[in-house]
C-alpha cells in the first residue's frame, strides 16, 4: 500500500464527514438516526504509521540540512568579512607606520639641519 502520510491529517473534515456518512448509512438500516459522530481515537495500520514516521524523519533531515547549510553560509560569509577586515587593519597599520616613519625622518632631518645651522653660525 502507498500512503500519502500527511494527506490523511490535512483532510480531517473530509475524513470526519466520510465516517459520519458511513456510520449514518449503517445505523439507519437498524433504525437509528445519527446526529453527530465524534472520533476520539483512531487506530491506523502499522504500515501507515511507518509511512508517517518516515515522512517526518525525512522532513526533519531536510530541515536539519537547510539549517546546517545556512549556518555554513553564515560561517563562510563571516570568515570572508573577517579576512577583509583583517587586511584593512593591516593596511591601515602599514600606512600609519609609513606616516610615522616619514614624520620621524622629517623631524630627524630638520633637527640635523638646525644643528648644522647652529654650527655654521658658531664658526
CA distances from 67 to 70, 78, 80, 81 (A): 5, 16, 20, 21
pLDDT in tens, 4-49: 555 666 667 777 888 889 999 999 999 999 898 887 777 778 888 8
pLDDT in tens, 43-66: 778 888 888 888 889 999 999 999
CA distances from 8 to 2, 5, 47, 98, 99 (A): 12, 6, 13, 73, 74
Amino acid at each position: 500500500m502507498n500512503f500519502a502520510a500527511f494527506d490523511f491529517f490535512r483532510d480531517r473534515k473530509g475524513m470526519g464527514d466520510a465516517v459520519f456518512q458511513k456510520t449514518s448509512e449503517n445505523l439507519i438500516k437498524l433504525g437509528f438516526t445519527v446526529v453527530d459522530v465524534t472520533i476520539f481515537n483512531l487506530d491506523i495500520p502499522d504500515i501507515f504509521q511507518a509511512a508517517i514516521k518516515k515522512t517526518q524523519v525525512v522532513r526533519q533531515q531536510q530541515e536539519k540540512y537547510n539549517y546546517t547549510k545556512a549556518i555554513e553560509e553564515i560561517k563562510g560569509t563571516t570568515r570572508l568579512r573577517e579576512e577583509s577586515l583583517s587586511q584593512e587593519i593591516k593596511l591601515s597599520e602599514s600606512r600609519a607606520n609609513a606616516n610615522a616613519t616619514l614624520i620621524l625622518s622629517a623631524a630627524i632631518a630638520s633637527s640635523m639641519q638646525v644643528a648644522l645651522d647652529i654650527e655654521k653660525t658658531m664658526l
